[in-house]
Amino acid sequence: MNSDYAIESHGLTRRFGAFTAVDHIDLRVPRAQIYGFLGPNGSGKSTTIRMLCGLLTPSEGTAQVLGHPVPGNAEALKQQIGYMTQRFSLYEDLDVEENLGFIADIYCLPRKTRRARIEAQLERYDLIEQRRQRADTMSGGQKQRLALAAATLHAPPLLFLDEPTSAVDPQSRRDFWETLFALVAEGTTILVSTHYMDEAERCHRLAILQRGRIVADGTPTQLYAGMDALVLEVETDAPGPARAALDSLEHILSVTQLGVRLRVLVAKAVEDAPERVRSALAAAGVEARVQPVHPSLEDVFVLATDSDGAEP
C-alpha cells in the first residue's frame, strides 16, 4: 500500500479488435510528482489513462493505482482520484457554484465542510467573481480553472489530466501549471497527457508514447543525456538547397526547418559531425553556419518517434 509509486503497471495492454491501442506499457509514477505522457494523437495516452482509472478493462497486464489492483474494484478507486477530461464535461447550463455543489454531493463531501471547501476552491482557482456565472458563458481559461477546481474538490491524492490545456491561451496555460506545482507541493500525484513540448518539459518525469508503446522515459535531463544523437543548428539563407544536400548525407537522422535555421540530428556514432555537415554543405555550394546546440525535448521526441517509425 505504501509503495513509493502512486502508479505501477506491468505489461498493460489494450486492444480494440485487431488494433492494439496500448502495447505492454510498464509504468512507474512516483508520488507527489508530475508525470507526463507525451505523444501524438492516437498514441495511446487517453487509453492508458482510462485503464488506470478503471474505465477500460486491460486486455492484458495489471497495474496498482494507489494500492488498488487494476483490473479490480474501480469504484473504490474513484473516490480517491480526480479526473479532468479533455473536453469540458461539467454542466454548461449550471453556474460555477452549482457545478461545484453538484460535484461535492456526488463525492458525498460532509455537510459541515462542504461549504467551506467550495469557498476555498473558488478562492484558489480565482472564480469568486464568476460564482454565479453559467459555464457556457465563460472563457476557455475560466472553464479550465472550474474543471480543475471540480476535479480537486474532494482533495484526491491522484489526479489524471487528459490534455488539459488544449483549449486555453498561453497565459492561462502558464497559470495552470503554477497551480499544478502547488498541488504537487501538497503531496498530490499528477499524471498529465499533452502534446505540447513546453508542457512536457515542465514535468518531473515523462514518457514518450508512440503507437501504444513507451519509446523513451525518464526525467527531461535523463532523456537529453540518453539521446543517441547530436543536435546541430544550420543557419543559412538557402534552407531549401541546404536541406536537399543534407538529406543525401549518411547518418542524418532528421532535419527540421525553423525559419532560416535547420535543426539537424546526427547519429552520435558519427565522428566530427559538424565538420562533415559543413563540408557537405560547401560541396553543394550552400553558404551556412553550423554549430552544435543543446538538445530540446522536441529533438528527443523526434528521435524517439522517428526511429520507432522506421522499424517494420
Residue 196 binding another protein, by CB under 8 A: no
Q: Which stretch binds another protein (CB under 8 A): 77-85, 224-232, 280-288, 290-298?
A: 77-85
Grid look-up 547519429 returns 267
60-65 and 213-218: which strand pairing?
Answer: unpaired
Buried b (16+ CB within 10 A) or exposed e, 268-287: eebeebbebbbebbeebebe
Q: Which stretch binds another protein (CB under 8 A): 4-12, 103-111, 125-133, 177-185?
A: 103-111
Nearer to another protein, 79 or 291 (CB): 79
Q: Which stretch binds another protein (CB under 8 A): 97-105, 174-182, 212-220, 267-275?
A: 97-105
Number of residues that bind another protein (CB under 8 A): 29
The nearest distance, CB 271 to another protein, in angstroms, is 52
Nearer to another protein, 94 or 284 (CB): 94
Distance CA 239, CA 281 (A): 11
| Identified binder of another protein from the candidate list 42, 62, 72, 74, rule CB under 8 A | 74
The nearest distance, CB 28 to another protein, in angstroms, is 23
Cβ atoms 188, 29 nearer than 8 A: no
205-210 and 34-38: which strand pairing?
Answer: parallel
User: Helix crossing, 111-124 with 96-106: angle to 10°?
Assistant: 140
Residue 61 binding another protein, by CB under 8 A: no
| Identified binder of another protein from the candidate list 10, 78, 195, 261, rule CB under 8 A | 78
Nearer to another protein, 78 or 205 (CB): 78
- Reading the block at residue 203, the C-alpha cell is 514535468
Residue 89 binding another protein, by CB under 8 A: yes
Residue 88 binding another protein, by CB under 8 A: yes
Q: Is residue 88 classed as helix, strand or coil in its secondary structure?
A: coil
Grid look-up 480553472 returns 145
Sheet of strand 5-16, all strands in order from the earlier edge strand to the far edge:
19-30, 5-16, 60-65, 68-70
Residue 118 binding another protein, by CB under 8 A: no
| Identified binder of another protein from the candidate list 7, 38, 103, 159, rule CB under 8 A | 103
Distance CA 209, CA 45 (A): 7
Which residues on adjacent β-strands are paired with residue 243? Answer: none
Residue 93 binding another protein, by CB under 8 A: yes
Residue 94 binding another protein, by CB under 8 A: yes
Residue 50 binding another protein, by CB under 8 A: yes
The nearest distance, CB 120 to another protein, in angstroms, is 20
Give me the phi and psi of 152, to 5 degrees please. -105, 5
Grid look-up 558519427 returns 270
Binding mask 9-48 for another protein (x = CB under 8 A): ----------------------------------------
Sequence-separated (6 or more) residues with CB below 8 Å from residue 114: 101, 104, 105
Which residues on adjacent β-strands are paired with residue 12? Answer: 25
Residue numbers of the site for another protein (CB under 8 A)? Answer: 50, 53-57, 74-75, 78-79, 81, 83, 85, 87-94, 98, 101-103, 105-108
